Amino acid sequence: MLGNLPTDEETARAFGALENKMNERVDALTAKFVESTNQTRLLVLAIGALQIALLVTVLVRS
């Protein structure tokens, strides 16, 4: 029964492969988060610009 256990080298390779996959996924998620954060910043800037334009319009008309 113990003869079917993987060797230390096989276990190390398996864990190394798992670590590489996890790192790839973390990198992909980090890239998505950064992109999402940048889009949120642009949205906040756009809303601010619209508020300023509305304020200027109200001030000019009054």
Q: What is the pLDDT of residue 48?
A: 97
5 in any annotated domain? no
42 in any annotated domain? yes
25 in any annotated domain? yes
What's the CA angle centered on 15, arms 17 and 13, to 5 degrees?
A: 70
User: What is the mean pLDDT for each group of 10 consecutive residues in the chain (62 residues)?
Assistant: 81 95 96 96 97 95 86
> How many domains in the chain?
1
26 in any annotated domain? yes
Q: What is the pLDDT of residue 5?
A: 85
- Structural domain of 34: 14-61
55 in any annotated domain? yes
Q: What is the pLDDT of residue 2?
A: 62
Q: What is the pLDDT of residue 6?
A: 86
| Pairwise CA distance, residues 15 & 33, whole Å | 26
